[in-house]
Structure 1
């Protein structure tokens, strides 16, 4: 019994380390692409969060504070850590939004926006966007997403130390920058479809002025759809390669040169 009593403080410290790390890692896992998607069963996501906690905890255990003096203080620290985890996780989810935005712009530009596909979200999205999201998620998973995610989680403790919380000015600055970059990347990936749509409409206008009696919209609609599908066949590999490189670069160096 004396030996058990001597180990009791160490067991309490180990449990506190686990729950303190789990609060941040669980929040990141809730919105992490692939692992945190809605089609993944809840029990599987919970087990993945526990596994990532067991991976991250030994790497940052020495940086954790001692046991909290009161229960209220402990819950406050856990709440702050959950907010920090959501802060880091939601920017990874933004990369999925990049593919959805690019797919929506491409579908709207090629008159394919009414063709809906399955989606992991609540609202339906065009089939092009769904194909980009599924392909991008699969490529990220095949490219070692679990290793990159573990490194990203460990690096988050360098950017925001345990118990430090988030500064409002930092959240506003980083949030505005990342939201702007999300829409910029989505527009950039869909640029070939926008250019093709512009050329199509200009040519259609010229033909309409030259031959007013011809119903150019009925003649050009099938060509636009076929051209959009062909352009998607050619541009999708390049779009996904650019997206995957940017996603991996962000996980290696979150928020650029942010100290």
Structure 2
């Protein structure tokens, strides 16, 4: 019986060590992932979600992780695993930031907010908040949790445990992800930018034709109403485009490696 208890104790210790290694990567990713890592989600709930995803991911990646060979390199694991997890989480978080930036551009184009309203102490523009909540709801309804688990499992095939990613390639990938997020944000806000351009051109022509008319007071209600109507018409078309970009990123978060 003592031998059996000793074997169980060794097995439990190995399982805990293996779970800790997986948690280092999963927990870092869960801190910044959309929907699950939002500030509105309590810290205890986020910690529980990190443990839940660890339980899901660990059995799948167990054949690829050898605890015995990793124990001498625990110091490296405390650096490499959170870095890889944060890289994966930030890659997905950039898609959420694309919605926020698109909302800020749309709000500024329709004279409803400042361009970088979400980057200071002021609340985020209403258009950006609407797009953000709608995007998160759409992603969760379409199985975001399943795709995130698949993406976390995929990271173990791209980045084996115990190896630091190459710094130059990792930075190039990060720059490409940021550039893609801003490109997507401007593409989503393009209808509002075009309408704003047409509005200002029309306002300039009217002001040129009738200098005595206070065109700013006449045009302000029009651009505000036009922005809200445009949001109503374009949101059902913009969100599927964003969802498609999110699915592409989830399918291949480390594209180009």
What is the TM-score with the length of structure 2 in the denominator?
Answer: 0.94
C-alpha distance in 2, partners of 1:22/1:43? Answer: 15
C-alpha distance in 1, partners of 2:29/2:176? Answer: 20
Are the aligned partners of 2:76 and 2:162 in contact in 1 as well (CA < 8 Å)? no
Determine if the alignment matches structure 1 residue 6 to structure 2 residue 7: yes
Report the CA distance between 1:53 and its aligned residue.
Answer: 0.4
- When the two structures are aligned, how many residues end up with a matched partner? 255
C-alpha distance in 1, partners of 2:56/2:67? Answer: 20
C-alpha distance in 2, partners of 1:98/1:208? Answer: 35
Q: Are residues 14 and 178 of structure 1, via their aligned partners in 2, closer, same or farther at CA, if it must alter by over 3 Å?
A: same
Partner in structure 2 of residue 93 of structure 1 = 93
Partner in structure 2 of residue 51 of structure 1 = 52
Deviant stretches of 4+, over 4 Å: none
C-alpha distance in 2, partners of 1:41/1:172? Answer: 31
Report the CA distance between 1:123 and its aligned residue.
Answer: 5.2
1:190 counterpart SS class: helix
Partner in structure 2 of residue 66 of structure 1 = 67
Are the aligned partners of 1:23 and 1:79 in contact in 2 as well (CA < 8 Å)? no
C-alpha distance in 1, partners of 2:121/2:54? Answer: 29
Partner in structure 2 of residue 212 of structure 1 = 211
Superposed counterparts of 1:100-119, under 5 Å = 100-113=100-113
Report the CA distance between 1:79 and its aligned residue.
Answer: 2.6
C-alpha distance in 1, partners of 2:254/2:221? Answer: 43
C-alpha distance in 1, partners of 2:24/2:7? Answer: 28
Partner in structure 1 of residue 227 of structure 2 = 228
Are the aligned partners of 1:23 and 1:81 in contact in 2 as well (CA < 8 Å)? yes
C-alpha distance in 2, partners of 1:54/1:243? Answer: 30
Superposed counterparts of 1:1-259, under 5 Å = 1-67=2-68, 68-70=70-72, 73-113=73-113, 124-256=123-255, 258-259=256-257
Are the aligned partners of 1:23 and 1:78 in contact in 2 as well (CA < 8 Å)? yes
Q: Are residues 29 and 122 of structure 1, via their aligned partners in 2, closer, same or farther at CA, if it must alter by over 3 Å?
A: farther
User: Cα deviation per residue 1:52-94 (whole Å; 9 max; x = unaligned)?
Assistant: 1011001111111333454xx3143133101110011111110
1:8 counterpart SS class: helix
Are the aligned partners of 2:18 and 2:67 in contact in 1 as well (CA < 8 Å)? no
C-alpha distance in 2, partners of 1:123/1:17? Answer: 44
C-alpha distance in 2, partners of 1:165/1:30? Answer: 20
Are the aligned partners of 1:98 and 1:186 in contact in 2 as well (CA < 8 Å)? yes
C-alpha distance in 2, partners of 1:217/1:123? Answer: 25
C-alpha distance in 1, partners of 2:212/2:178? Answer: 47
Report the CA distance between 1:8 and its aligned residue.
Answer: 2.8
User: Cα deviation per residue 1:171-207 (whole Å; 9 max; x = unaligned)?
Assistant: 1110110111111000000000000000001111111
